[in-house]
Amino acid sequence: MPKRQTKTILQIFFGVLISGIIFLYIKQPALLKGDFFSFESFIEYFHISIFFTSLTLGYIITYSALEADSPSLVMIMLILDAGPSGLDIGAFTQRLNDDLLVKPRIEDLLRDKLVCMDGEKYLLTPKGNSFVTIITFYRKLINLPLKGG
């Protein structure tokens, strides 16, 4: 697996998009006889690109959600594994610790260069700051509180 999987997936998908657009532009007259399915203007290629980009970003969002276990999924799986007798609250809280829930997310933030270490402190990188700005703008746009799920 590549170190930065999301970046690699984006490179592959957009490489396919660019190759496909070039192929359609060059080979389309030979492939498609008649006006049934022809792309004659830049705007049609642009529409294809927007559609493909939308699907790609939807895939990336889904992939990143499935890439790491969410805390809720971890909890549900622990309860499921306990079987019909259920899971004792003490065992439940003992098994849910920072190694399972927090540390993997910190490692993801460091790997994706959204935060960096400065001695014993975590700091936002410019990339992380941009990410927070986008999320904050979106939450304000749809009238959600800045903090929350």
Residues 20-53 as b or e (16 or more Cβ within 10 Å = b):
ebeebeeeeeeeeeeeeeeeeeeeebeeeeeebe
Q: What's the structural domain count of the chain?
A: 3
Same domain (yes/no): 140, 111: yes
Single pTM value for the model: 0.57
Contact, 56 vs 14, CB < 8 A?
yes
**117/142 same-domain check:** yes
- Same-domain pairing of 45 and 87: no
2 and 50 belong to one structural domain: yes
The answer on 80 and 111 residing in a single domain is no
Residues 54, 112 within the same domain: no
Do 86 and 122 have their domain in common? no
Beta bridge partners of 116: 123
pLDDT digits (tens, 9 = 90+) for 25-60: 777 665 555 554 566 677 888 888 999 999 999 998
**Model confidence over 46-102: pLDDT tens digits?**
888 999 999 999 998 888 767 777 778 888 988 999 999 998 998 888 888 888 778
> In terms of Cα–Cα distance, which of 78, 111, 112, 105 is closest to 92?
78
Does 90 lie in the same domain as 44? Answer: no
Asked whether residue 46 falls in the same domain as residue 91, the answer is no
Provide the domain limits for residue 79.
71-97
